[in-house]
Amino acid sequence: MDKKGKALVTGANRGLGKAIALELVSRGFDVIAGVRNPDTAIDLLEQARSLPGTLVLERMDMAALGDYQPPADLRILVNNAGYRGPYLPIEEAGMDEWRRTFDTNFFGLIDLTRRAIPALRNHGHGLICNIGSLGAYVPLPFYSIYRTSKVAVAALSEGLRIELAPFGVRVIEIPIGGVDTDMLRTGIAHRPPEAIEYELYRPMAQSQAAMSETARTNALAPEIAARNVVDEMFRPGPLRRACDPNAVNGLPHIDATTEEERLQGMLQKFGVESA
Q: Strands, DSSP E only, in the chain?
A: 6-10, 30-35, 54-59, 74-79, 127-133, 170-176
What span, in angstroms and rounded, lies between the C-alpha atoms of 24 and 2? 13
pLDDT for res 181 = 81
Asked if residue 196 is part of any domain, the answer here is no
Q: Is residue 1 part of a domain?
A: no
Residue 45 is predicted with a pLDDT of 93
Can you say how many angstroms the Cα of residue 175 is from the centroid of all Cα atoms in its chain?
A: 7
Query: How many domains does the structure of the chain reveal?
Result: 1
Give the pLDDT confidence score for residue 251 in this predicted structure: 95
**Tens digits of pLDDT across the chain (275 residues):** 566 799 999 999 999 999 999 999 999 999 999 999 999 899 999 999 999 999 999 999 999 999 999 999 999 999 999 999 999 999 999 999 999 999 999 999 999 999 999 999 998 889 999 999 999 999 999 999 999 999 999 999 999 999 999 999 999 999 999 998 877 667 766 677 889 999 999 999 988 877 766 666 788 999 999 999 999 999 999 999 999 999 999 999 999 999 999 999 999 988 887 76
Q: H/E element holding 264?
A: helix 259-269
In a domain, residue 153? The reply is yes
Catalytic residue set: 146
Counting beta carbons within 10 angstroms of the beta carbon of residue 118, is it exposed (0 to 12), middle (13 to 18) or buried (19 or more)? Answer: middle
269 assigned to some structural domain = no
Query: Model pTM?
Result: 0.93
The CATH number of the domain where 229 resides is what? 3.40.50.720
Is 211 within the bounds of a domain?
no
Give, as one character, the DSSP assignment of residue 125.
-
Task: Provide DSSP, 17-80.
Answer: HHHHHHHHHHTT-EEEEEES-GGGGHHHHHHHTTSSSEEEEEE--TT--TT----TTEEEEEE-
Give domain status of residue 129, yes or no.
Answer: yes
**Within a domain: residue 87?**
yes
Domain encompassing residue 48? 6-180+221-259
Residue 215 lies in a domain: no
Q: How far apart are CA 123 and CA 75, in angstroms?
A: 7
